Structure 1
């Protein structure tokens, strides 16, 4: 007996999927009153059989779903359709959900389900507190710095374990109704948007700060819900690109420094006063897994090296043009271009360090031994304790920004100056947030320029000290995480 062909439709990400059939795909969400189906599945007769005694049944369907149903798809006469614009009275129904529907079109169903869930609770009757929730733990990226900055602005804060945010949000909201949730890189949010829409329905302000390449982060999200989320990026290059891909509210929020760590009483790290120092990894953790299946071949490497030789850093923008990539989302294709960019960044760092002279010290992972066999290589150091001492003690600190952020900056662009050190950074347009007159002697545009610039700085110790003081004052006045929180709060108001 030939198996009947299943109905296939494109989900909201444009991918073909089959519609599963059977009673087990209908979930009773409770409630009292008339029966309302949220989606009828590929065979509405099965839905009707669930309530054989009911004279009238009601249903609501996603318009994108309905528009793709084949000829011959019939709905029993007992069903009456509810207008998709009239969902204010969902609490009057006993609701039955066709569960595959919310995976196919989460941006349509999740807001409705959030409305239904929140309206059935007492959450909205709770008093809102001046509290910020930050998904992560005490060791998560930027969490300690953000907590301290919010505290200076009169907020209490709560660090929420990401899985608890995704799986136990209702319970969390019952215990406390915060004013704001701030996620770094969509941490704590699910891929379908359930968490975001629940928070929005509860009246909680929400923002995501993307501090890495936004499309690497978004490549794992299949729902269009991210377009609704207020987003801030550390690299302003991505603002028009995100807007082109549907983002409705995007702002620029660069990294900053935490005075608690880098402007405290710091003892210089010993024996670095005549050294040029770089602190950083040769690659980020789980790199091979993230870029699984991506290729950087000999032709790509030669193209990147030629670009560097000609004075152009092969960054993400450069590679998107070379790869003729226009649509960065949905899908994982953007990671292929990202991998080429990441490998170009490694070449850029290697060439820079190879041109940094004999007085070079590198604090980093074992991977550097392969590329810098003659350098003074030392183990990684703790960001919160030893790193400030290194920045203060080194004669020159080197910075190479990731080409994955064409106009981005790194923590070094802020932390080194805050600690009273001196930074020599590769140039990116992101440096335009600083006064142009203090950038002189502090940037390089090509690794081959480094020997002369390092020699100039070493030969002018008084200028180095004066620039360090000017930079430290400017960073502490304009570029702390407290400054960033003020800008963030204005952005989401």
Structure 2
């Protein structure tokens, strides 16, 4: 049932004017009695009352910004002028005394002033909530409630409701307005959605003894009311120093939650372990002064800065040394193999991506895939815009979503071809391939020329699988042409040996030759694999050196400690 409409006033309002026509007071007549709106001091007293309230320090002493003024009663309008002169970002006049407003003309006088908002909702909490929304939009500014002394007696219940609504907002504001990074170890709010890396993050934070709390961001619209309320409640309860997400999971593309975090002064760390371009691309509203993006790929810092992100950093992948712990191979184990590869054939992903394009563009992307794999260009969009088979069709696409589909199709098709080329070089060694049944359509002879396992679980199977192979082949996805993937950390940590493709950023993490075995192009794979199979001591020496470097520098504890330090430097004040 909707709230009852305002009751008509039980008084008559008559304006008293000066010789120049200015309203100097209003007589309020009821039950044979006359009261005055302005009282002693008139409009000057009204303005002085507002100035004094606005000049008073914040109750908690933490916020000296101009507050949002909430005037209970418009009076003669002098208090509104005082609030505007004091620099209030907004002035909310909560007043449902239409007879007084008509006598003073105050509402018409400020009709063209955008900072002045009149509210006469039947529900006083709704009126107060509108003012609170304005304060929140102003960076969770204070609400300064100034009550005109003539109004409570006219509408005491409504005034009490307004006061309660303002007090509710102020209580929340004080709870979330705490000083960030005041403790030696930061408190981290995880904006959680199901994704593999969150488990590693939580485990690493436990080992680092960094206080953290998981906030389930739900499965629906990420800017919905329940998510917003849950976020505010978690901040008030847990008092985090910053929020942390992976790949911007849990945040809406329109930037509503990003804006909310900025309003409450909570910094956000977003660690991208897939291409930020594939997540962020051309959507607006995601950048903000309190957001720091961490990318597994150092090459993407400039691209992120171009989208307005002022704070970016390189944060490579790593390993969980407790899960990928040192193990020896088991003789006779069904997973025992001289050479192996773990990964999808990419047949399905590539075909589905190409099917989303027009037939002409799909043909062009397929024609350009090998050239993209061989090209030093790392931006799929730039490559498509410049390649003769795709340039005209790509540039003519109607929107950014269509262009992103083309970029994905090129990336997955090029990766499919590159990966299958690399794995084919192992076939003379009768490898074990763990992946989907698409491999059986790629390479005939499964069971004789090579063997296949179904896809393996990352957590339960791979820590046991990697030590069973003398040589584990790694072929990095072409969405990360300069970066390294998870396998270069996990395989040595588990006691295995990895032969990986050359990537520019690998040299900043390992010493090639000493701590990493690297092939420059697929044609080198067979010879290098045969070399390391024939020299087990050399293989063991490289794997052991890699494992020592990983335990010293490349665990998730190292990454989270670095992330927390970067957040404190950027936002710790």
Same fold, judged at TM 0.5 (above)? yes
TM range (shorter): 0.7 to 0.9
CA distance in 1, matches of 2:96, 2:355: 48
Contact (CA 8 Å) 2:228, 2:257: kept in 1 or not?
A: yes
Could you report, residue by residue, the CA deviation over 1:139-172 in whole angstroms, capped at 9, with x for unpaired residues?
A: 5221111112112222122222122645521222
CA distance in 2, matches of 1:225, 1:289: 31
Contact (CA 8 Å) 1:211, 1:234: kept in 2 or not?
A: yes
Contact (CA 8 Å) 1:315, 1:405: kept in 2 or not?
A: no
TM-score, normalised on structure 2? 0.63
Contact (CA 8 Å) 2:298, 2:314: kept in 1 or not?
A: yes
RMSD over equivalenced CA pairs, Å: 3.9
CA distance in 2, matches of 1:238, 1:340: 18
Could you report, residue by residue, the CA deviation over 1:360-381 in whole angstroms, capped at 9, with x for unpaired residues?
A: 1111123322223334121111
Q: 1:470–1:175: structure 2 CA closer, same or farther, 3 Å change rule?
A: same
The equivalent of 2:196 in structure 1 is 141
2:195 matched to 1:124?
Answer: no
Q: 1:416–1:144: structure 2 CA closer, same or farther, 3 Å change rule?
A: same
CA distance in 1, matches of 2:477, 2:421: 14
Q: 1:421–1:264: structure 2 CA closer, same or farther, 3 Å change rule?
A: closer
The equivalent of 2:321 in structure 1 is 259
The equivalent of 2:431 in structure 1 is 360
> 1:399 deviation in Å?
0.9
Paired residue total:
413
| 425-434 or 407-416, which deviates more | 425-434
Match of 2:309 among 227, 247, 250: 247
Could you report, residue by residue, the CA deviation over 1:167-199 in whole angstroms, capped at 9, with x for unpaired residues?
A: 521222333222221100111222233323333
CA distance in 2, matches of 1:34, 1:289: 63
2:138 matched to 1:112?
Answer: yes
CA distance in 2, matches of 1:110, 1:373: 63
| 265-274 or 393-402, which deviates more | 265-274
> 1:481 deviation in Å?
0.7
Gaps of at least 5 residues in structure 2 are 1-68, 75-79, 81-94, 117-124, 144-167, 219-225, 569-573
CA distance in 1, matches of 2:347, 2:294: 23
Contact (CA 8 Å) 1:257, 1:481: kept in 2 or not?
A: yes
Contact (CA 8 Å) 1:401, 1:426: kept in 2 or not?
A: yes
2:343 matched to 1:280?
Answer: yes
CA distance in 1, matches of 2:349, 2:72: 52
Contact (CA 8 Å) 1:210, 1:233: kept in 2 or not?
A: yes
Match of 2:456 among 381, 400, 409: 381
> 1:96 deviation in Å?
5.0
Match of 2:546 among 451, 471, 481: 471
Q: 1:402–1:182: structure 2 CA closer, same or farther, 3 Å change rule?
A: same
The equivalent of 2:483 in structure 1 is 408
Contact (CA 8 Å) 1:56, 1:80: kept in 2 or not?
A: no
> 1:293 deviation in Å?
2.9
Return the structure number with greater relative CO, CA threshold 8 A, min gap 6: 1
CA distance in 2, matches of 1:57, 1:189: 40
Could you report, residue by residue, the CA deviation over 1:10-52 in whole angstroms, capped at 9, with x for unpaired residues?
A: xxxxxxxxxxxxxxxxxxxx9764799xxxxxxxxxxxxx989
Q: 1:228–1:292: structure 2 CA closer, same or farther, 3 Å change rule?
A: farther
> 1:249 deviation in Å?
0.8
DSSP-derived class of the 1:181 partner = strand
| 360-369 or 465-474, which deviates more | 360-369
Could you report, residue by residue, the CA deviation over 1:318-377 in whole angstroms, capped at 9, with x for unpaired residues?
A: 6623424999xx932234223212210111001111111232111112332222333412
> 1:247 deviation in Å?
1.6
Contact (CA 8 Å) 1:235, 1:405: kept in 2 or not?
A: yes
> 1:450 deviation in Å?
1.4
> 1:306 deviation in Å?
5.1
Larger radius of gyration: 2
CA distance in 1, matches of 2:128, 2:347: 50
TM-score, normalised on structure 1? 0.72
The equivalent of 1:487 in structure 2 is 562
Q: 1:52–1:240: structure 2 CA closer, same or farther, 3 Å change rule?
A: farther
Gaps of at least 5 residues in structure 1 are 1-29, 37-49, 59-75, 84-90, 100-107
